[in-house]
Amino acid sequence: MTAADPARLDEFRRQRFGMFIHWGVYALAARHEWVRNRERLSRDQYQPYLDRFDPDLFDPAVWARAARDAGMTYMVLTTKHHDGFCLWDSELTDYSVRSTPWGKDLVGPTADAFRREGLGVGFYHSLLDWQQPDFPIDGLHPDFERDGVDQHGRDVAHYAQYLHGQVEELLTKYAPVDTMWFDFSYRNWRDAQGRPLVGGKGAADWRSDDLISLVRRLAPQALINDRLDVDGSADFVTPEQYQPVAPVVIDGVPVTWEACQTLNGSWGYDRDNLDWKSPELLIKLLVDTVSKDGNLLLNVGPNGRGELEPRALDTLAEIGRWMRLHARSIHGAGASAFAPPRDCRYTQRGDRLYLHVFSWPFRHLHLPGLAGKVRYAQLLNDASEVRRVSHDEGAVTHPALGTTPDDLTIELPIQHPDVAV
């Protein structure tokens, strides 16, 4: 299996912060992108959402600006989710924007808008497809309980051909694509009772090896994620809605990773959701991710009129307020070999060490192992000097403090600087 272009991989690792966009006709149901599955909606019961999909306020320049202002450097857009609905005018199916009142492509304009703001463009593409007649019904399919495993001649090889054809369309029509984010394989999954999931699917179904070759051929610069069920093929791995405890290492080798996270637990627009993460928590999530050498792909779910809701825009703006002053500790930064004190994270870029203080201490912070290693210290938000306290000053070396001569002790202002986090 050919590997990704190392320069592109390096760029990705420096980008650090991206926008995930989950958008489709499920935005009209406004209760999670799995609504067709969760509520066992038939194709006909789902059809009203296609019949009414008309995002009259669609203006991807607004999304792109919100992303850029938040300090994001790339985006990943759902070209097709599990419901099979295509956000572009595919030649291989009518189950797309073409069959909606809106009637036209949404992928091209979105990609263009983000490129105009200088952001990278990646495509999420669902391997599952609950619409294609050749996709075998399985335990995750909305029609499973009604139709069981009676496949009515469904032919997964034929579906794979369709899948490859669509990926080819996307990579040629919207070149250059920076990332293909495939989702997902479930060959060995178990159901809620612990029994093997009926009809689980993986590499043999998607013909993943050929799919990877296709991407390498058409988009040599594109990175491919780890959900194709091919060991060792992934350019990066994708922990979803959990944080690794340390830089991710697989078989003794550090790997490139990208955490994906929601704003509120749902990927698609979810009107009645009250479970919003605070901007402060999200900034900590970003810092924590970079401190472990990862990227953060933070999701938004535009609504049925094509807008990001105020709660999402406000959150992004607040993150941007912090990023305006602290981006240099994120972009191009990564893990440090130094161990931070309690409730802190380090990110490092070259010889610059950034100390992120999650819980503001009382005046002093003792930084293990940094004695004699720091030439100058300052706050990032206002460039004001942070003074070091030397070890011969009684108060700081008092044995009850538990500091050692290897510690560098710095003196912080009593008040937390007036910026987000």
Contacts to ligand JFZ by CB under 6 A? 33-34, 183-184, 240, 260, 267
Closest CB 333 distance from ligand JFZ, rounded Å:
25
Residue whose Cβ sits closest to ligand JFZ = 184
Of the pair 32, 366, the CB lying nearest ligand JFZ is at 32
* Smallest distance, ligand JFZ to C-beta of residue 307, A: 20
Residue pointed to by tokens 């809106």: 102
Choose between 21 and 389: whose C-beta lies nearer to ligand JFZ.
Answer: 21
Given the complex with ligand JFZ, which of 209 and 240 has the nearer CB atom? Answer: 240
Q: List phi, psi (to 5°) of 164.
A: -65, -40
Q: Quick one: the chain helix, strand, coil %, rounded to 5? A: 30, 20, 50
- Give least dist CB 371 to ligand JFZ, A: 44
Q: Which is nearer to ligand JFZ, 118 or 196 (CB)?
A: 196
Give dist(CA 224, CA 254) in Å, integer: 17
Query: In angstroms, what is the minimal distance from the CB of 124 to ligand JFZ?
Result: 7
Q: If you write DSSP's letter for every residue of 88-115 in order, what string do you get? A: S--SS-SSBGGGSSS-S-SHHHHHHHHH
Write out the DSSP string of 36-66: HHHTT--HHHHHHHHHT---TT--HHHHHHH
Q: What are phi and psi of 203, to 5 degrees?
A: -50, -40
Quick one: CA dihedral 134, 139, 141, 143, positive or negative? positive
- Report, in Å, the least distance between residue 297 CB and ligand JFZ: 9
Q: Which is nearer to ligand JFZ, 193 or 415 (CB)?
A: 193
3-state secondary structure of 347: strand
Alpha carbons 184 and 224: distance in angstroms, whole number = 12
Calculate ∠ Cα 329-286-216, nearest 5°: 95
What is the closest distance, in whole angstroms, from the C-beta atom of residue 56 to ligand JFZ in the complex?
A: 25
- 17 or 267: whose CB is closer to ligand JFZ? 267
Nearest partner of 22 among 32, 37, 12, 7, judged by Cα = 32
Least separation in angstroms between residue 267's CB and ligand JFZ is: 4
The count of other CB atoms within 10 Å of the CB of residue 52 is: 13
In the complex, minimum distance from the CB of residue 28 to ligand JFZ, in angstroms, rounded to a whole number: 16
Considering the complex, state which of residue 20 and residue 58 has its C-beta at the smaller distance from ligand JFZ: 20
Nearer to ligand JFZ, 266 or 329 (CB): 266
Specify the residue for token string 């995002």.
55
φ/ψ of residue 216, rounded to 5:
-60, -40
